[in-house]
Amino acid sequence: MIMVEMICIQCEKLFSVVPSKYNIRKYCSRKCFSEALSKKILKSCLFCEESFLFSPRLIKRKYCSTKCSGKALSQKLKKLNCLKENEEDLG
């Protein structure tokens, strides 16, 4: 069976996986996976600018809460509606 060598993103040890798991596996063991999940990263909310902690697996997270996320989305939608109204007035 062909195996692919990878480096664990937690402990940086080499481990082998089948090619079909190459884009899926990131950790060499459940222990490393659990340790990675317990780490927290400090980030600033794009809406309220307060700092919040989150798990690295949620790296794309931009807001500290669903409340801030909803308010930011609401502002974006209001801007889009204003742009559409302006285009209709011009056209």
Tens digits of residue pLDDT in 25-70: 999 999 999 888 888 888 999 999 999 888 776 778 899 999 999 9
Beta-carbon count within 10 A of 64 CB: 20
pTM: 0.52
Domain ranges of the chain: 4-90
Q: How many residues does the chain have?
A: 91
| Mean pLDDT across 65-77 | 92
User: Are 33 and 10 spatial neighbours (Cβ–Cβ below 8 Å)?
Assistant: yes
**pLDDT at 28 (0 to 100):** 95
